[in-house]
Amino acid sequence: MGINLEKMNKVLKYRWVVFVILALAYFFVYFHRVSTAVVAADIMNSFGVGAASIGLLGSAYFYAYTAMQLPSGILSDSWGVKKTAGVFTLLAAVGAILTGVATSFTMVLIGRVLIGIGVAMVYIPVMKVLAIWFKKNEFASMSGVLLAIGNIGALSAAGPLAIMAAAFGDWQKVFLMLGVFSVLLAVAIFMLVKDRPEDMECPSIPEIEAYEKGENYVPPKAVAKIPMGEALKQTFSSGMKFWPLSIWFFFMYGSLMVYQGLWGGPFFRDVLGWDKATYAGVLSFIAIGMIFGCPIAGYLSDKVLKSRKKVLIAGTAVYIVLWGVLWSQAGNITSTTAYTVIHFLFGFFGGFFVVSYAQVKEWFPASIVGTATGAYNIFPFLGGAIFMTITGKMMEVSSGTTASVAQYKSVWLLMFACMVFAFLCLLVSKERGSEKVAPVKVSDASEVPVSSER
């Protein structure tokens, strides 16, 4: 069957417009995630609040983000990518503007919640874009590029945000600027993003892939829209295809957040006596490692090993070894150079988790891939929330004292033990590969093979 080459080339070019716009939105997901730490002292001075209030402010984003993961997937499937990402980027803009004009801490807190809800609705729509606008052997690689862009956003929220706040003499002006820019970004999403190539009267990616292979394109059988309840049922009842990897991700990302997002800095302060500038610089190498590790993991999965599970096993194994070093050598390693190397490797191999999205996505049809990915994405953030609470109890100290090296070692040991268990879950997880997948039951349609959908 022939294909319109002009329209085919249009799809292969325009998909980069769609990706770049949404990737820029994802840049600000990470930017906002770490911004509180940078302006914490300014907020405390502006509104006369203490550390407990700042802790509440930081967690507000985290819990809002977690709560919105499943709705994100459901809306990506029902509303579509453009509407979901556009509406909620606009909501994040409202949150940033509210923060910028706030006259009380309560207003800042409400703004933070709106930001968390808004940016929570970006990642899953972008993953659906990758599933629809890119080829199967490009998905993991592009996922890695996306995560790298996110981590660049995290780095940009450190030094650059502090510099901007100092340059303007008012941290709130920075958030006003972010809000205005986010409004423009939302407009760009509504105007330029397309849910599918077919919306431009162009061939779909499966049709293009068939043409490139010299094969006749056979359109998939028509599938009735899967109701939300049915989509959730298919996701959570998929057994070994979903649950072992979800449990692994709960521990994997939870342990990463415990170190990078909570107790790494205090450890260097309390145990090694480093100042903030020193340990902040050393910890930043975790994000730098991820910037390199995420796209490399995707490339290895798509082009070299052609396996999701093998890449995840290799990355997790090294990540566990590094946790073992952090635990066993806590207090003994004092060199900034040594920790810089450890942190780079920690982020590099920790970033291999990006491939897991491809492993999950390949088990589900395109009509529910947003819901499935959203359900999967609950687990890493739930892990972060729960482990931060647990380790917070473990690190409690009397007023005026600092935590001991023994307390930190107990936390590191817990993370090491949890990762060993997570590794066992990973080993029993199922990768689709060339395995023939059982048909998906649709409540109001005949059985349709998963392999016929993208």
pLDDT of residue 289: 93
- CB-CB neighbours of 321 under 10 Å: 14
Q: 32-68: b or e for each residue (b if 16 or more CB lie within 10 Å)?
A: bbbbbbbbbebbbebbebeeebbeebbbbbbebbbbb
CA distances from 405 to 307, 387, 393 (A): 40, 19, 15
Q: 227-237: b or e for each residue (b if 16 or more CB lie within 10 Å)?
A: eeebbbebbee
Which ranges of 120-168 does DSSP label H, i.e. alpha helix?
123-133, 139-156, 159-168
Q: Confirm if 208 and 11 have CB atoms less than 8 A apart.
A: yes
DSSP state of 333: -
Tokens (6 digits) for 452:
């016929």
| Sequence-separated (6 or more) residues with CB below 8 Å from residue 143 | 127, 130, 294, 298, 354, 355, 357, 358
pLDDT of residue 19: 94
Beta bridge partners of 448: 440
Q: Confirm if 322 and 278 have CB atoms less than 8 A apart.
A: no
Tokens (6 digits) for 372:
């499935």
| Sequence-separated (6 or more) residues with CB below 8 Å from residue 326 | 259, 342, 412, 416
Nearest 5°: phi and psi at 440?
A: -90, 130
| Sequence-separated (6 or more) residues with CB below 8 Å from residue 449 | 437, 439, 440
**Burial status of residue 314 (CB atoms within 10 A of its CB: 0-12, 13-18, 19 or more):** middle
| Sequence-separated (6 or more) residues with CB below 8 Å from residue 247 | 379, 422, 425
pLDDT of residue 273: 92
- CB-CB neighbours of 119 under 10 Å: 28
Q: Confirm if 77 and 367 have CB atoms less than 8 A apart.
A: yes
SS3 content of the chain, % helix, strand, coil (to 5): 80, 0, 20
Domains of the chain: 1-193 (1.20.1250.20), 227-454 (1.20.1250.20)
- The residue type at 430: K
Number of continuous H segments (helices) and E segments (strands) in the chain: 20, 0
Q: Each residue's pLDDT tens digit in the chain (454 positions)?
A: 567 888 888 989 999 999 999 999 999 988 887 777 667 667 878 998 775 677 678 778 878 888 898 888 888 888 999 999 999 999 999 999 999 999 999 999 999 999 999 999 998 899 888 888 998 888 888 888 898 898 888 888 766 776 787 788 788 998 999 999 999 999 999 999 999 898 888 888 888 888 888 877 777 676 667 777 888 888 999 989 999 999 999 999 989 988 887 788 888 888 999 887 788 788 889 889 998 999 999 899 988 998 999 999 999 999 999 999 999 999 999 999 999 999 999 999 999 998 998 898 888 887 787 788 888 988 998 888 788 778 877 887 766 678 899 999 999 999 999 999 999 999 999 998 644 433 333 333 222 222 323 3
DSSP H or E stretch at residue 177: helix 171-192
First to last CA, the chain: 20
